[in-house]
Amino acid sequence: MRFRSYSVLPGFGPTLGFSLLYLGLMVLLPISALVLYSITHLSAAEFWQVVSEPRVVASFKLSFLASLAAALINSLFGLILAWILVRYEFPGRRLIDTLIDLPFAMPTAVSGIALCAIFANNGWIGKLLAPWGIELAYNPIGIVIALTFIGLPFVVRTLQPVLKESERELEEAAASLGANRLQTFVRVIWPGLVPALLTGFALAFARAIGEYGSVIFIAGNLPMVSEIAPLMIMSHLEEYDYAGASAIAVVMLAFSFALLLLINKLQAWSWQRIGGVRA
């Protein structure tokens, strides 16, 4: 088999060579450094001891559940936002469409202190709920709020193109065959949205699992209660326990790999559904 088919276009060798070198140095080398560090500095038993320590397990659980909750909330409100942005005309529509990406454009530390200022007990929103004994910051609820903030654009931006390209004729056909609007939505529109919604959900979830900057201010960081997994890496590092930090990081890395593969599959499925071509 030839390595590549003949083409008149130049530059295959140099561009591929440079890209491989760059990726090797910037991505593969650091990742191998991490994995090898935990293998050579820890025995299997020591590795297990680090990652099964109650405080670490609690942080894994919290990161997982809070990310799941945030991604679910985002799926619901992201669907509503994508729907009204594509299908309806209302004042402020273009402003919202522009600002949806705010969580991407804003540095996470800035978002973190801003969310804290609003949802803490003396903040604009926190103040309203404090009299009922509901606290939104410095506990797991605060973490879910921050993760919801950071994940919102993923769901909206994955759904928007799918909604734009969906065929309105199908809806008209359903209506002319006697379906009411709800039936049309459930039977005709919804099946077309599912792959994109799942992709958006998975993207928001993956981002939330690793998120640090926007969470750390509002979390309160109480051991066993509101410590997220990335923070446990930080606290091991602060004690110069590189090996311990690397063990937790390897677990997170493996989880990220699995999610990345899942997202690739979902995206391919999603593009297939709307008949597009994927890069």
Q: Which of residues 12-71 bind another protein (CB under 8 A)?
A: 12, 14-16, 18-20, 22-23, 26-31, 33-34, 36-37
Total chain residues near another protein (CB under 8 A): 101
Considering only residues 194 through 233, tell me which ones interact with another protein, judged by CB under 8 A. Answer: 206, 209-213, 217, 229-231, 233
Nearer to another protein, 64 or 212 (CB): 212
Nearer to another protein, 33 or 224 (CB): 33
Least distance from C-beta 58 to another protein, angstroms? 17
Q: What is the dihedral of CA 56, 74, 195, 252, to 10 degrees?
A: -20
Helices 242-273/44-51 angle, 10° precision: 70
x/- binding map, residues 76-95, to another protein, per CB under 8 A?
Answer: -x--xx-xxx--x-x-x---
Nearer to another protein, 102 or 225 (CB): 102
x/- binding map, residues 137-156, to another protein, per CB under 8 A?
Answer: -----------xx--x----
103 closest CA partner among 53, 148, 47: 148
Considering only residues 107 through 126, tell me which ones interact with another protein, judged by CB under 8 A. Answer: 107-111, 113-115, 117-118, 123-125
Query: 8: which residues sit within 8 A by CB, 6+ positions away?
Result: none
3-class DSSP state of 100: coil
249 in contact with another protein (CB under 8 A): yes
Q: Looking at the chain, which runs of residues are DSSP E strands?
A: none
Distance, CA of 274 to CA of 165 (rounded, Å) = 8
Least distance from C-beta 9 to another protein, angstroms? 5
7-29 burial, b at 16+ Cβ within 10 Å, e below that, comes to: eeeeeeeeeeeeeeeeeeeeeee
Query: 48: which residues sit within 8 A by CB, 6+ positions away?
Result: none
Binding range to another protein, per CB under 8 A, among 42-50, 134-142, 169-177, 193-201? 169-177
Distance of CA 265 to the CA centre of its chain: 16
Least distance from C-beta 120 to another protein, angstroms? 11
Distance of CA 77 to the CA centre of its chain: 15
Least distance from C-beta 145 to another protein, angstroms? 8
Nearer to another protein, 58 or 157 (CB): 157
What token pair was written down for 233?
């890496």
* Residue 141 neighbours by CB distance under 10 Å: 17
Least distance from C-beta 254 to another protein, angstroms? 11
Least distance from C-beta 94 to another protein, angstroms? 8
Nearer to another protein, 115 or 196 (CB): 115
Binding range to another protein, per CB under 8 A, among 52-60, 131-139, 170-178, 193-201? 170-178
Yes or no: say if 195 and 269 are a contact pair by the CB < 8 Å rule: yes
Nearer to another protein, 48 or 257 (CB): 257
